[in-house]
Amino acid sequence: MDETDVVVVGAGLAGLRCAQVLREQGLRAVVLDAGDAPGGRVRTDVVDGFRCDRGFQLLNPAYPAVRRHVDVDALDLCFFGRGVVVAQDGGLAVVADPTRHPRLLAATLRSGYVRPGELAALARWLVPALGSVERLLAGPDTTLAASLDRARVTGRLRREILEPFLTGVLADDTGATSATFVRLLMRSFVRHTPGIPATGMQALPDQLAAGLDLRLGTRVTAVSRGTAPQVTTSAGEVAARAVVVATDAGGAADLTGEAAPPVRGLQTWWFAADDVPADRATFLRVDGTRGGPVVNTALMTAVAPSYAPPGRHLVQATTLLPSKTGAAATEADVRTHLDRLWGVPTRGWEVVVRHDVERALPALPPPLVVRRPARVDEGVFVAGDHRETASLQGALVSGARAGHAVARALAGVR
């Protein structure tokens, strides 16, 4: 039987950050994961030379945990444009930040979305996000939809841009997500434009995993409780002084018995194309009419050419995964919608791969609970974005918090 100070179950961002903290505290930590590379849900598949992240994912350097614990420069981030292309009944319109894209100011003014009354209402709604995080978290919370109604953000800017954009970010098209959480996200968007590493999102967990005792291809099937917990794996048993279960919410529930929050799913289609419209190519595209299943689409190679072989392009298209009783979007549905979003026929685009991420994000209804206990039993701890907030920031913070909690427990500090 193998022995160590701490077993970390799961090599996602929370597990990797937890193991880093444990190492800093002088503890021996073994990270076990059933996959063939670190990252959990943050993975990149290379298919025929195309870099396809497992779901459309972005890294925001404004996240405090990213600034503190990630060498962002080493990731060679490539940034999207600061704006969106919107499908309207009359065609396509662009709305861009004029401070970043001054040449698009006239087009933005012509879009029909720049209305002083609604811009002022949206600014009032956003104000709580720009102050202290502590004050924001201490304030009242309600659903996103109710908070926008209360702020009188009720026009086209909300219906045709903000809500379609947030649907892809939250995997929620109902407006039921905590308004406080959405303001936290918007705070980061205001401070920095998100990007992608030149070699794919896999670069982030690969960096965090450096120097750790990581054992891949090892599935954990059971975790015993008690002062000397044991971990049963596909390769045998591991004894430890403590165990941190850093899987997604469903995996943590299976191994610890902790209740799992509801989760929301996303489906991402990756298309290879030889010819894609180059106009405003670095902007995310959304449908203001909601006339199809695609919640957002982007030309990845306009942002990071390394996502495809030379001379080719890679397009992502994301849809919501419905509940088990609903039907997922078909390829025909997606292509028909993409024809509208890109303004060109897409029948010649080739499907590289499709990712169905059933547990993409934990649901976060109001009131927002930003911190659930890391310790769930004697010697057993849990980490993950489902214990903090549904974001890369939440995963990193939760992992660090669990690592410090384990170190204190093993040192006899309550």
CA distance linking residue 33 with residue 23, whole number of Å: 18
Confidence tier at 325 by pLDDT (50, 70, 90):
low
- CA distance linking residue 171 with residue 149, whole number of Å: 20
In sequence order, which ranges of 8-159 are alpha helices (DSSP H)?
13-24, 64-69, 72-75, 105-110, 116-130, 133-138, 144-150, 156
pLDDT for res 28: 97
Q: What is the pLDDT of residues 367-400, one digit of tens each?
A: 999 999 999 998 999 999 999 999 999 999 999 9
pLDDT at 312: 96
pLDDT at residue number 227: 74
Rounded distance, CA 250 to CA 302, Å? 36
Q: Is 263 helix (H, G, I), strand (E, B) or coil?
A: strand
Q: How many angstroms separate the CA atoms of 157 and 118, rounded?
A: 7
Query: What's the length of the chain?
Result: 414
pLDDT at site 3: 85
β-pairing, 375-377 vs 83-88, is: unpaired
Tell how strand 263-273 and strand 236-245 pair up.
unpaired
Report the alpha-carbon distance of residue 201 to residue 360 in Å, rounded: 15
Amino acid in position 251: G
State the average pLDDT for the chain.
95
At 413 the pLDDT is 59
When pLDDT is averaged across residues 239-256 and rounded to a whole number, the result is: 95
Domains of the chain, each with CATH number or no CATH: 2-41+202-261+366-410 (3.50.50.60), 44-112+193-200+263-362 (3.90.660.20), 116-191 (no CATH)
Task: In whole angstroms, give the CA distance from residue 18 to residue 10.
Answer: 10
> pLDDT at position 174, please?
96
Does the pLDDT value for residue 1 go beyond 70? no
Whole-angstrom distance, CA of residue 356 vs CA of residue 169: 16
What the block records as the tokens of 133 is: 């995080």
Structure tokens at 229: 């917990």
- Asked whether residue 414 carries a pLDDT value surpassing 70, the answer given is no
Give the bridge partners for 8, in sequence order.
31, 244
pLDDT at 226: 73
pLDDT, tens digit, for every residue of 177-199? 999 999 999 999 999 999 999 99
The percentage of residues in the chain with a pLDDT greater than 70, rounded to a whole number, is 98
Question: How far is the CA of 93 from the CAs of 107, 259, 370, in angstroms?
Answer: 8, 45, 37
Choice among 2-11, 225-234, 292-301 with the minimum mean pLDDT: 225-234
Could you say which DSSP state residue 306 is in?
Answer: G
Q: Are 34 and 218 in contact (CB under 8 A)?
A: yes
Residue-level pLDDT at 323: 63
Residue 344 has pLDDT above 80, yes or no: yes
Element (DSSP H or E) covering residue 230:
strand 230-233
pLDDT given at position 225:
80
* pLDDT tens-place string over residues 81-96: 999 999 999 899 999 9
pTM: 0.95
- The confidence band for 17, taking pLDDT boundaries of 50, 70 and 90, is very high
